[in-house]
Amino acid sequence: MLRYQENNELHRDFHGTTNTTLNYIAEHYGVDALKMILRKTGHDVYKSIREKLAKGDASELIEHLNWFFYRERGKYRLSVSGNEIVFEVLECPAVRHLRKLNLKPSPYMCLQTSELNAGMCEGTPWHSEVKVIGEGHCIQTFRKEADHDPE
Amino acid sequence: MIPSDHFVRFYNEVFKFLDAQNGLPAYYEEIGRHQEQHCLKEFREKGLQGVYDYYVKIRKEENCDLDLILNGHELILKMNKCPSLSKALDNDAGACRKYCLHCPGWTGGIYRKAGLYQVYAVMGLDNPQCCEWIYDDLKQAEAKYLELAAVTPADELFISFPRSAPETMKDSETDLQMP
């Protein structure tokens, strides 16, 4: 079950403000500061996902990925097998909306994803990686260490 | 991707970081510049009606419990339940103590550029309510400010305009109040 239930209207223009903020922090405080904020967001805001991952339960992470990309009409493939979750984003809804607003996607767009995901996995047997294929297209992988099978 | 539903909780973390660096005012200005593309033209061309129309859209998209009252030279935005602060509070990371200040922070500059005058009463971090009065007439805005200043804590009241009639105010009230 999702910690943050979101079922009503969407305000997609927030992607524009996120884009501006990514650039602003990186340009004024450095990329390391941006990474720190994103990692902390993943770690603290998504505490519920993280604590479940620590117990070997990836259910909320899977629901999170599926629900929010579905809600924003993203194009994606989600596959779960054993100790691996592969989430391929074929068309990122954030990038699509930025283009609609005539905004250039921040060079830190994908850093946003990789640091958030890393924050969710921090201190758990799970590790994340993000492989960028092209604009708005990436493969996010979450993999659990083999020697951390559920108790 | 940070879902647009969760932007507020990211914003909240950004505020915590920037507050520690004394960097909030400059960031509000940047956000204000970004937001100009969404609303400045309409505010300039249509005045209070443009602000009203913009917030009708925002009220729907951001799920606000917001009353909009357009009455001659005055527009009142009465936020009965702010979805933004509500999300910041419903958050395992905890809310930034200065969360509410971003609203007067980024909107004030846009109103100045549009020739409008804002008086903004935030009502405390734990209370997702606020009230904003916007005027296209400076004297009415100043009068509203004086009325509110008499009954509102100074750190909860913001205006977007410099005082133009200091003879009608106490000396301590002649500085621009911005977050």
Closest chain A residue to the Cα of B27, Cα to Cα: A24
Taking the CA of residue B156 and the nearest CA in chain A, the distance in Å comes to 25
Going A30 to B1 to A2 to A144, the CA torsion angle's sign is negative
> Tell me, what's the pLDDT at A148?
61
**Residue A71 touches partner B, C-beta closer than 8 Å:** yes
Closest chain B residue to the Cα of A40, Cα to Cα: B13
Q: Which of A3, A18, A115 to mutate to test the interface with B (most CBs of B within 10 A)?
A: A18
Listed ranges A92-96, A142-146, B62-66, B170-174; the one with the highest mean pLDDT: A92-96
Given a cut of 70, whether residue A61 has pLDDT beyond it is yes
Given a cut of 60, whether residue A84 has pLDDT beyond it is yes
Q: Is the pTM of this model over 0.80?
A: yes
Mean per-residue pLDDT of chain A: 95
Going B140 to B142 to B145 to B149, the CA torsion angle's sign is negative
Domain count, chain A: 1
Given a cut of 60, whether residue B167 has pLDDT beyond it is no
Note whether residue A149 is domain-resident. Answer: no
Q: How confident is the model at residue A149 (pLDDT cuts 50, 70, 90)?
A: low
Q: Contact B5/A10, CB-based, under 8 Å? A: yes
The CATH number of the domain holding residue B158 is 3.30.1380
Note whether residue A10 is domain-resident. Answer: no
Mean pLDDT in residue range B82-107: 95
User: The domain containing residue A69 runs over which residues?
Assistant: 31-144
Share of chain B above pLDDT 70, in %: 91
Given a cut of 50, whether residue B2 has pLDDT beyond it is yes
| Residue B121: strand, helix, or coil | strand
> Higher-confidence residue: A57 or B172?
A57
Mean pLDDT in residue range A26-40: 98
Share of chain A above pLDDT 90, in %: 92
**Residue A63 touches partner B, C-beta closer than 8 Å:** no
Query: How many residues does this entry show for chain A?
Result: 151
Taking the CA of residue A64 and the nearest CA in chain B, the distance in Å comes to 10
> Tell me, what's the pLDDT at B124?
80
Q: How confident is the model at residue B173 (pLDDT cuts 50, 70, 90)?
A: very low
Note whether residue B172 is domain-resident. Answer: no
Mean pLDDT in residue range A73-96: 97
Distance CA B164, CA A3 (A): 50
Tell me which H or E stretch contains A88.
Answer: strand A84-91
Note whether residue A25 is domain-resident. Answer: no
Note whether residue B32 is domain-resident. Answer: yes
Note whether residue A47 is domain-resident. Answer: yes
User: The domain containing residue B25 runs over which residues?
Assistant: 4-162
Q: Contact B91/A6, CB-based, under 8 Å? A: no
**Residue B14 touches partner A, C-beta closer than 8 Å:** yes
Q: How confident is the model at residue B175 (pLDDT cuts 50, 70, 90)?
A: very low
Q: How confident is the model at residue B107 (pLDDT cuts 50, 70, 90)?
A: very high
> Tell me, what's the pLDDT at B170?
41
Q: Contact A72/B9, CB-based, under 8 Å? A: no
Q: Which of B8, B9, B10, B58 to mutate to test the interface with A (most CBs of A within 10 A)?
A: B10
> Higher-confidence residue: B27 or B168?
B27
Closest chain A residue to the Cα of B28, Cα to Cα: A21
Domain count, chain B: 1
Note whether residue B131 is domain-resident. Answer: yes
Given a cut of 50, whether residue B148 has pLDDT beyond it is yes
Q: Are A135 and A105 in contact (CB under 8 A)?
A: yes
Q: What are A137's strand-pairing partners? A: A134
Given a cut of 80, whether residue B176 has pLDDT beyond it is no
Closest chain B residue to the Cα of A137, Cα to Cα: B1
Q: Contact B93/A44, CB-based, under 8 Å? A: yes
Given a cut of 60, whether residue B178 has pLDDT beyond it is no
Note whether residue B177 is domain-resident. Answer: no
Q: Are A53 and A120 in contact (CB under 8 A)?
A: yes
